[in-house]
Amino acid sequence: MDPLRAPAVPRRIELPVRVRFDEATASGVCRAAAHLRAMQDVAWAHSAGAGFDLPWYRERGRFWLVRCLVLDILRPVGPGVTLSVSTEVMAMRRIWARRESDFRATDGTLVAHGLADWVMTTTQGAPGRIPEELLAIFGGADRLDPAHVEPVEAPAGATEVTIRVMRRDLDPMGHANNAAYVDWIDEAVAAAGGEALVEATPRRYHLEYLLPAAPGATLVARAWRDGPDWWCTVGTEDGATLARGRLVPG
């Protein structure tokens, strides 16, 4: 499909997403990372439906990467449940785009909400301008202030979990997918004593992604408690921080 000849594309769509058996924990609760995978899958379906599929991006040497994420998990859901997952382009300009997603049960109950700031990159990983064809369909907003997570440094007593980036963690760009980081953070928080929080509702994940994780890399996830919140970082063995964030109860 030629994007410029495509019919009017809505800025918001909804698709049914079934929670798979393997996406739930041992207690039968859908993992946070599964919510993120659903968010990005529906976002890609939205883009492809407008004519901007993965081959289109590859031909132009452009790719989207999640830069910052806020995910609120409000109610638990289990395997076999079908949710209505929306995606809406809230803003798009220059190199940035913001999408929001609602997760609703069949009775309309809101069970989760997500916001993601995406940045357009080149094949070399540098920021690249959004192609005009894409802006013609989804562009808008005079200003977009990307979300951030304040810089933090893990204290000496932070719990550390060593991680190996496996093939299953990679996305079509060859980097560890943003949802994999949430699994790693859950592992670190649980190891640090916050096991109940990684399945509690409501809870919020607020993450900022700084650098990509390469295939086969050995990483260190660190978690520590600060009042009711848990802070976490994911970094390389030599100290580079790839992602940082907070897990907030209530």
Q: Is the dihedral of CA 21, 27, 30, 33 positive or negative?
A: negative
Q: What is the pLDDT of residue 141?
A: 67
Q: What is the pLDDT of residue 42?
A: 98
> Tell me, what DSSP letter sits at residue 149?
-
Are 107 and 210 in a shared domain? no
Are 168 and 125 in a shared domain? no
Q: What is the pLDDT of residue 172?
A: 86
Helix axes 32-49, 178-189, angle to 10 degrees: 170
From 113, 147, 181, give the residue that closes a domain: 147
Q: What is the pLDDT of residue 246?
A: 96
How many structural domains is the chain composed of? 2
Q: What is the pLDDT of residue 53?
A: 95
Q: Please, what is the average pLDDT of the chain?
A: 93
At residue 207, the 3 state secondary structure works out as strand
From 110, 131, 147, give the residue that closes a domain: 147
Non-local CB neighbours of 196 within 8 Å, separated by 6+ positions:
none
Question: pLDDT, tens digit, for every residue of 39-83?
Answer: 999 999 999 999 999 999 999 999 999 999 999 999 999 999 999
3-state SS of 50-84 is: CCCCHHHHHHHCEEEEEEEEEEEECCCCCCCCEEE
